[in-house]
Amino acid sequence: MHLGIDASRAVTTQRTGTEGYAYHLLKTLVPLAQEAGHQVTLYFNQTPPPGFLPEAAHEVIPFPRLWTHLRLGWALRRQRPDLFFTPAHVIPLSYFGPSVATVHDLGYHYYPGAHTRFQVAYLNWSTLHNARRSRRVLADSRATRDDLVRIYHIPREKIAVVYPGVDPELGPVRDPETLVSVLARYTIAGPYMLYLGTIQPRKNLVRLIAAYGASHVEESLVLAGKAGWLSQPVLEAIAQLPLEVQARIRITGFVDEADKAALFSGATALLYPSLYEGFGFPVLEAQACGTPVLCADSSSLPEVAGEGALLVNAADSEAIRAGIQRLSRDRALRDQLVEAGFQNVRRFSWQQAAREALAVLEEAARR
């Protein structure tokens, strides 16, 4: 099989969940496919750093606008791979060859106000386009699979649930000097509770801030991640709190991948009451670092978190507040969640994800 892969999202420097998925999956999938005797061609919209991904045939085809639908589509029509796979983007409109795409989530359907009108329209179109054009669809979770079936009426048997993995380099950081150095880099002092992810409405941060303000815990609140669209209400929510509470909330901005393990490890808990997640990488990342987790009891989060999280109703500020207090004051609960988190995270690996994904790609190419 000649497998063509859109690797454009894998070379994004400030990776969010979908870009991280593309990077880690391809890093494992490409050599696995080559070992199985398949030819792989990676398509980039910019030159990747040396050694960024495994060695494979590749094309760097920069183009200022509409790279996917014009330039990538043209390259695929010219090369005619047996199968095209896009792990974090969209199948080119102009390409009608055999394809497989990953659909990560349908959060825009549940919370359209978290996006611009154009983004909602594009996400709706691109998700439906990928799901219909693909021979098979990869979904990050059963929750995403069920959404595709219910909302877009995609046949259930067309969708393969392939759980992403966890960065194998993530683990507890116990060296005091490393912890002090990383926390100083982000101006974090004293005990703290952590949110890590994009600063945007779907993450339920306005409600989290209100719940934290009413919790009266000793820990400060650290909001770590780059600002997304509509992040202004988060700043306004902080401004409405008493000054002494405002002073205990720290917004760090984008967090370097190399610093994530230390930030997780130094936190009393990860607070992740997101309104909707197709998967929820920070939950597993925190568990891998030995950090107790509070997360929502909806969408894919209970499926992913297993027994290693305190689940709360994300729409209930009082439930979030009570959860914050429990994690702050109950050491036994924190220890229990840490141990359960270590056990849970073993269910997820990029090796397993790559093996399952490759099996789906091979089956799709034979159709």
- pLDDT > 90? residue 142: yes
As annotated, the residues of the chain forming the CATH 3.40.50.2000 domain(s) are: 2-165+349-366, 176-345
For the cut 90, the answer to whether the pLDDT of residue 65 exceeds it is no
CATH number of 176-345: 3.40.50.2000
Residues in the chain: 367
* Closest among 170, 159, 172, 168 to 28, alpha carbons compared: 168
Give the strand order in the sheet containing 269-272. Answer: 249-253, 220-224, 192-196, 269-272, 293-296, 310-312
Rounded to whole angstroms, the Cα distance separating 77 from 37 reads: 23
pLDDT band at 262 (very low <50, low <70, confident <90, very high): very high
Which among 268, 270, 260, 249 is positioned nearest to 312, based on CA atoms? 270
CATH no., domain 2-165+349-366: 3.40.50.2000
- Whole-number pLDDT of residue 14: 66
Task: Find which of 25-39, 49-63, 194-208 is predicted with most confidence, using mean pLDDT.
Answer: 25-39
Nearest partner of 263 among 359, 167, 188, judged by Cα: 188
Q: Is the pLDDT confidence value at 12 over 80?
A: no
Could you give the residue ranges of the DSSP H alpha helices within 134-171?
Answer: 142-152
Residue 58 tokens read as: 């590749």
- Residue 268 · residue 192 · CB < 8 Å: yes
The residues pairing with 271 across neighbouring beta strands, listed in sequence order, are: 294
